[in-house]
């Protein structure tokens, strides 16, 4: 084995460890800190500790910790699939990396136009963060996407981007846009501006949380059904979780995998739609043309 090959494999192992160890840490932390509960127990993110602050104490919650773990996992994944990239494809992982980039670039170009082609890294970051945050439920961890504070923060960031591109032609043009099609609708248009991040946050949060709640309720119902059907049998036969074998896994494929990825895609699509839809492209080009004439 050459020195270069050994170094390459060591770095591969390091990047894989960056992907795996955060999940292991989250599972261990979950086991050590989760209180024992009987029956159905649906709660929000646990508060690990609180940092005293002058105005209001700052709690460190399960959502924040798991979000950080997801970010580290995504970092490890990106480092792994881009490790060893060359001009000529020599690794299978490079096919995956280029496929992801091509698909996201095509998605951005199709939905936002040529002007926003530089938005691809932001969109793929939203997709990865949202999807991975939902998929960690497969490991028994609390999904950050079922915390309105986390998803609300993403929506506020998108709101700032929407407002920034709406003001590309200046604040006066932005205020004129609020008075369209008639000035009487200005208050409603103003409310709709702030309603955008609220609707995005609650749509994403509500769908993920509802899936989690439904999974817990169905799991508990299946446990009760198993006990009712087999409860009269002697010995250990009465404790066999007959209906909890297989059925929860099938439900998890929908609620944790399909629904989580779908909500990530919807959030990214809404981001592209609102940002590009609010950008006054024609007015912006006219303004650039006027500036060029003045500079001459």
Q: Is the pTM of this model over 0.85?
A: no
Say how far apart CA 45 and CA 64 lie, in whole Å.
9
pLDDT tens for the chain, residues 1 to 296 = 344 588 888 999 999 999 999 999 999 998 888 776 555 566 678 888 899 888 888 888 999 999 999 999 999 999 999 888 887 777 888 888 889 999 999 999 999 888 888 899 999 999 999 999 988 888 888 889 888 989 999 999 999 999 998 888 778 888 887 887 778 888 888 888 889 899 999 888 888 877 777 777 777 777 777 777 666 666 665 666 666 666 666 776 777 788 888 889 999 999 999 998 888 877 777 777 777 777 76
The pLDDT assigned to 231 comes to 65
C-alpha dihedral, 256 to 262 to 265 to 267, nearest 10°: -80
Q: Where are the domains of the chain?
A: 3-295
Predicted confidence (pLDDT) per residue in 60-84, tens digit? 899 999 999 999 999 999 999 988 8
Sorted by sequence, the CB contacts under 8 Å of residue 108 that are 6+ apart come out as: 116, 117, 119, 120, 123, 272
SS3 246: coil
Cis peptide before 181 (omega within 30 of 0): yes
């Amino acid at each position: 084995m050459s020195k270069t090959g050994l170094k390459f494999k060591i770095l591969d192992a390091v990047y894989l460890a960056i992907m795996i160890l955060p999940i292991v840490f989250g599972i261990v932390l979950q086991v050590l800190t989760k209180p024992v509960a009987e029956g159905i127990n649906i709660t929000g993110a646990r508060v690990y500790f609180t940092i005293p602050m002058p105005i209001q104490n700052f709690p460190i919650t399960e959502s924040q910790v798991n979000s950080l773990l997801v970010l580290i996992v995504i970092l490890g994944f990106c480092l792994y699939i881009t490790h060893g990239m060359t001009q000529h494809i020599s690794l299978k992982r490079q096919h995956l990396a280029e496929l992801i980039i091509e698909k996201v670039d095509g998605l951005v170009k199709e939905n936002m136009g040529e002007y926003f082609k530089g938005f691809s890294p932001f969109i793929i970051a939203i997709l990865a963060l949202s999807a991975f945050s939902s998929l960690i439920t497969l490991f028994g961890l609390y999904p950050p996407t079922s915390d309105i504070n986390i998803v609300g923060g993403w929506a506020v960031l998108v709101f700032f981007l929407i407002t920034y591109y709406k003001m590309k032609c200046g604040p006066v043009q932005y205020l004129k846009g609020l008075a369209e099609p008639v000035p009487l609708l200005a208050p409603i248009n103003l409310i709709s501006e702030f309603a955008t991040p609220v609707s995005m946050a609650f749509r994403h949060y509500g769908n993920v949380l509802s899936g989690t709640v439904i999974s817990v309720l169905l799991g508990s119902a299946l446990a009760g059904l198993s006990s009712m059907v087999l409860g009269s049998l002697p010995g250990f036969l009465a404790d066999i979780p007959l209906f909890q074998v297989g059925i929860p896994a099938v439900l998890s494929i929908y609620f944790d995998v399909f629904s989580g990825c779908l909500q990530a895609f919807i959030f990214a699509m809404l981001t592209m739609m609102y940002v590009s839809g609010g950008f006054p492209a024609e007015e912006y080009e006219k303004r650039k043309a006027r500036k060029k004439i003045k500079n001459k």
